[in-house]
Amino acid sequence: MSIQLIADSGSTKCEWCLLDDKKKKIILTKGINPYFSSEEEITQILTEELIPYLGKKTIDAVYFYGTGLSNTNNVLKIKKILKHFFGKSKIAIETDLVAAARAACDKEKGVVCILGTGSNSCFYNGKKIVKNHASLGFILGDEGSGAYLGKTVVRYYLYNTFDEDLRARFDAMFVTTPHEIIEQVYTQPLANRYLASFTQFLAENRGHYMIENILEDGFSEFFYHHIYKYRESWSNPIHFVGGVAFAFKDVLKEMCSSYELEFGSVSASPMKGLIKYHSDNSKLKIKN
């Protein structure tokens, strides 16, 4: 069996798996998003956080799945960097949505949803993505994502919508000021990651009616603007992948039930499914 390196990268973190027959080695690095990270920054991440932990075995194929890779220029950017480190390896670059679809569905049909720092969705026919509804990013869209939910938390705080109890809990957890929040969102890089960090507040305050309302409203927006746009949603399972989906899977399961949709699988990361997929398809043809 060939030695494969699989990467699943979001804006916050990148999970790598060195797959050598039945041996698996997981390595975590900072997230790699070609929209926000320069070639120099990505090269530094790989040099310091990945390469020293790979050992000296020859890697036959590199499968890099990540956010921002529906853009051709970003694909070329990532491929150039990977070629620098793995020049003799076959290199395939796919979107994070392909990763989620392969991990959740393998060779079956299904509607696949990513709910992490950002959000996305597609219909997968068992071989490839045949429908994809635009997510629009964290400024215009990303309904149901960590950035979207976190933005609502911040808005409730800044507008004084939270009751005194929740406001006190927020102040104790984050120790910040309205000025610092505005400064971070509008003048600092990676505002999506910053906003997504506030989902921790939702996770730690479940049961409060305002928290439950934020979750239900945010996920309802995702169902309405995305899942409902696929007619296949009423005849195929709905799968969810991502940290936000996993943290609030009870809400998603209940919403699927109330909307009479089949709740499929939910996982925090696609890596386990990708390992199975690439183990079963070790001779997968690489086009790019």
Distance CA 46, CA 51 (A): 6
Contact 229, 116 (CB under 8 A): no
Type and span of the H or E element at 76 = helix 72-85
pLDDT at 182 over 80: yes
- Say what the pLDDT of residue 172 is: 95
DSSP code of residue 58:
P
pLDDT at 21 (0 to 100)? 74
191 within 8 A of 184, measured Cβ to Cβ: yes
User: What does the pLDDT read at residue 83?
Assistant: 94
Residue 55 confidence (pLDDT): 85
Which whole number is the average pLDDT over 222-249?
95
SS3 state of residue 251: helix
Listing from the earlier edge strand, what are the strands of the sheet with 129-132? 129-132, 119-124, 110-115, 238-241, 263-267
State residue 1's pLDDT score. Answer: 61
Q: Is 85 exposed, middle or buried (0-12, 13-18, 19+ CB in 10 A)?
A: middle
The per-residue pLDDT for range 114-164, each reduced to its tens digit, is 998 889 999 999 999 999 988 877 778 789 999 999 999 999 999 999 999
Is 104 within 8 Å of 264 (Cβ atoms)? yes
Q: What's the Cα-to-Cα distance from 1 to each of 29, 52, 86, 94, 181, rounded to whole Å?
A: 26, 23, 18, 22, 50
Kindly report each contact of residues 79-85 with a partner whose C-beta sits within 8 Å and lies 24 or more positions away, as own/partner: 79/288, 80/39, 81/39, 81/42, 81/43, 81/46, 84/43, 85/46, 85/51
Residue 112: closest CA among 141, 136, 135, 78 = 135
Across 104-120, average pLDDT? 92
Does 283 have pLDDT greater than 60?
A: no
Q: Is the pLDDT of residue 284 over 70?
A: no
The 3-class SS string of 119-176 reads: EEEEEECCCCEEEECCCCHHHHCCCCCHHHHHHHHHHHHHCCCCCHHHHHHHHHHHCC
The pLDDT of residue 142 is 85
DSSP codes, 150-164: HHHHHHHHHTT-S-H
Sign of CA dihedral 54, 78, 97, 142: positive
The predicted model gives 256-281 an average pLDDT of: 92
Give the rounded distance of the alpha carbon of 47 from its chain centre: 23
13-66 pLDDT, tens digit per residue, is 899 999 987 788 999 999 888 888 889 999 999 999 999 999 888 899 999 999
**Interacting residues of 269 by C-beta distance below 8 A, sequence separation 6+:** 8, 15, 241, 242, 243
From the list 267, 277, 217, the residue with the least C-alpha distance to 240 is: 267
Structural domains of the chain in order of their starting residue, each with its CATH number: 3-100+271-280 (3.30.420.40), 139-215 (1.10.720.160)
Share of the chain above pLDDT 90, in %: 75
List, for residues 247-258, the tens digit of each pLDDT value.
Answer: 999 999 999 999
60-95 per-position pLDDT tens digit: 999 999 988 988 999 999 999 999 999 889 999 999
Mean pLDDT, all residues of the chain:
91
In the chain, the amino acid numbered 240 is: F
